[in-house]
Amino acid sequence: MKLTWHRRRVHLRHPFSIARRRDERSTERTALLVAIEHEGRVGLGEAAPSAYYHQTLDSSEAALAGAASMLAGPREPLGLDRGEEHDPLAFDAILDPIAARFPGESAALAAIDGALHDLAGKLLGVPVWKLLGLDARRAPLTSFTIGIDELDVIARKVAEAAEFPILKVKVGTDQDDAVLATIRRAAPDKTLRVDANCAFGSHDVLERCRALARYGVELIEQPTPAGAHDALPSVRSAGLAPIFADESCVGATGVLACAGAFDGINIKLSKCGGIRRAVAMIHAARAAGLRVMLGCMVETSVGIAAAAHLAPLADYVDLDGHLVLADDPFGGIGGAGGRLTLGDRPGLGVAPSGAAEPGATLHG
Ligand code: MG
């Protein structure tokens, strides 16, 4: 199998801020797109490295370069005899040695996992959701995210998001009350979810969540920093809204630690390492009595599609990363009105939406 990758710069429709990066306003993002070729078929994946999880484009590319040489040979690192072919459907046999060699590079691993699933679907002629044994009709609608901004800009964003019945609102500033009042005025009947991105402390989390809950929120995500969970049982017992972990729940080993402090977890492929590991997290979450949300970074339709095919397993879906882009280079996964498209096209079901960016080069 031949693994290659390239960087692709994409632009956001609106500058985007969250509580953890209040003084940063993102206007663009570099997507890291991965291709795995086998017997004339090409599977696509995407890495969305996050500085919060100590990943960069460079560290992701270093992991991809290592993985490319492991897949191309010599065969020994994968435990196969020299000359023996890799089976592209043997996901764990391929992914486990790569994960062991690059343990911090979950975003790169997710890209390889996504590309393998896309490739497998194309080789077998089935969409990934079918490969996973799921019923596409059970996929919940996705929310659409409203980032931290000035009140007049927020009102404009809410008006532009009229087609989306569920909004996820970034909170965690001293303007939370005004932000939610503004959104509720513009969207009195929409389902609202809020995400504080670690902004509250143990001393004020109950009061801050109580203030948010007054606006009728469906759930509250990551109110306090990762690991700072001591006050969360009292927030849960106040019965304000279900409390979800995001930054507090990175991979499968973090799931059980969330039981007791949280009602649910937000699973992102770039955090956990892809579809294969996300499924393991979902099973762990169900066993621990936790609800499941699927989330994302700002990603093109390639990265979002990999998560979208798992949507039938989730209670809540927050897969809007491609919808905030002005120039998504891929399409096929939908999202209009919050409805993601899980169609019958083989693999992830995504295709280029335009000509390749001039100067884009393949590496590996
Ligand atoms: Mg979050």
| pLDDT given for residue 360 in this prediction | 38
CATH 3.30.390.10 in the chain is located at 2-125
What tokens were used for 280?
A: 């393991």
Separation between Cα atoms, residue 160 and residue 328, nearest integer Å: 18
Give me ligand 1 centre to Cα 90, in Å: 32
Buried b (16+ CB within 10 A) or exposed e, 131-156: bbebebeebbbbbbbbbbbeeeebbe
| pLDDT given for residue 358 in this prediction | 38
Separation between Cα atoms, residue 243 and residue 245, nearest integer Å: 7
Give me ligand 1 centre to Cα 246, in Å: 5
Provide mean pLDDT across the span 350-363. 57
Give me ligand 1 centre to Cα 196, in Å: 7
**Which stretch of DSSP H or E encloses residue 199?**
none
- Inter-residue contact 292 to 263 (CB < 8 Å): no
Q: Which pLDDT band, with edges at 50, 70 and 90, does 359 fall under?
A: very low
CA 352 to chain centre: 20
pLDDT of 280 over the 90 cut: yes
The residues facing 33 across adjacent strands are 6, 46
Provide mean pLDDT across the span 303-330. 97
- Considering 61-75, 263-277, 343-357, the range whose residues carry the highest mean pLDDT is 263-277
CATH 3.20.20.120 in the chain is located at 136-352
Q: Which pLDDT band, with edges at 50, 70 and 90, does 18 fall under?
A: confident
Give me ligand 1 centre to Cα 192, in Å: 14
pLDDT of 361 over the 70 cut: no
- Inter-residue contact 251 to 277 (CB < 8 Å): yes
Give me ligand 1 centre to Cα 131, in Å: 28
Give me ligand 1 centre to Cα 257, in Å: 18
Domain 136-352 sits in which CATH superfamily?
A: Enolase-like C-terminal domain (3.20.20.120)
Separation between Cα atoms, residue 304 and residue 126, nearest integer Å: 18
Separation between Cα atoms, residue 149 and residue 100, nearest integer Å: 41
Separation between Cα atoms, residue 343 and residue 324, nearest integer Å: 22
Give me ligand 1 centre to Cα 291, in Å: 15
Give me ligand 1 centre to Cα 123, in Å: 35
Pick the CATH number of 2-125 from 3.30.470.20, 3.30.390.10, 2.30.30.30, 3.40.50.720: 3.30.390.10
Give me ligand 1 centre to Cα 243, in Å: 12
**Which stretch of DSSP H or E encloses residue 6?**
strand 2-16
